Amino acid sequence: MPAPSSQRPSSPTDGDHGAKAAHRAMWAMGNYDRFARATVWELGPVLVEACGVAAGQRVLDVAAGTGNVAIPAALTGASVVASDLTPEHFIAGRRGAAQAGVVLEWIEGDAEALPFDDASFDVVTSCLGAMFAPNHERVADELVRVCRPNGTIGLIAFTPEGIGGEFFALLAPYLPPPAAGASPPVLWGDEAHVRELFGSRVTSLVMTRHTYVERASSPEDYARLFMETFGPVIAIRANLERTPERHAAFNRAFTNAIVRWNRSRDSGPVEIVYQYLLVVARMS
């Protein structure tokens, strides 16, 4: 495992430590592997292909979850490290990797202070993961720092204008207020914001918008998936249990939103189209 670099961001404050612990605890709730496989799993191979991951390369997937990018990357023959702030995900990740017949490293790490040497990786990726770290500038600095010259950084993030943006706007009033200086996650899906974050540190920056579809047998089943498996929704509902009226209001608003987003617009099968920004940056 690479040793920690001497060129790291300043040490986090006690407040930062508390926020990180709360963030980790929230994402450890439920069953993220079940959630990811039912929703976003197909995006991993998309990012691997876009970045041209190949045998012999060293790849880092940041905020890796249970491996929807890391496992397909390892299947190419690359040497892969999956890093996440929430190591509780690694149990399912290792199980999924074993089932796929690949071996990779699973290392706890914060996207704002990655525990790796400078210029350690040929490809650095993150799919709907690093976008949730509050300080976007620190994240961009870290992605650039650990990527080798002429290497590739690849990202997928929900766009602010799509249903992903609406989804997080729906949750926001029920979550703790963001830390000072935090940026909304979906800004990683805004081309101008991404261009500003990377600046002249990359030689090319290709950004394209795409969609994918999440499906369920009914709005109730889709809502149940989130309420049983998705950490932020589980945390919200737990916090609202002492206020039954707000708890019921949230459940109602969540289910109503699903019905509104469903492109079939009826009570049958659910098909919700999410828009995302695919970013591929080439290092200087």
pLDDT, mean of residues 78-91: 98
**C-beta separation of 65 from 38 below 8 A:** no
Sheet holding 202-216, edge to edge: 105-108, 79-84, 58-62, 121-127, 147-158, 270-283, 202-216
Express each pLDDT in 98-152 by its tens digit. Answer: 999 999 999 999 999 999 999 999 999 999 999 999 999 999 999 999 999 999 9
Q: Which fold, 14-159+177-211+275-283?
A: Rossmann fold (3.40.50)
Express each pLDDT in 18-67 by its tens digit. Answer: 889 999 999 999 999 999 999 999 999 999 999 999 999 999 999 999 99
The candidate with the shortest Cα–Cα distance to 191, out of 210, 212, 211, 205, is 205
Tokens 């805004």 -> residue: 190
pLDDT at residue 247 greater than cutoff 60: yes
User: Whole-model pTM?
Assistant: 0.92
Q: Give the HSE-up count for residue 48: Cα atoms under 13 Å, Cβ half-sphere.
A: 26
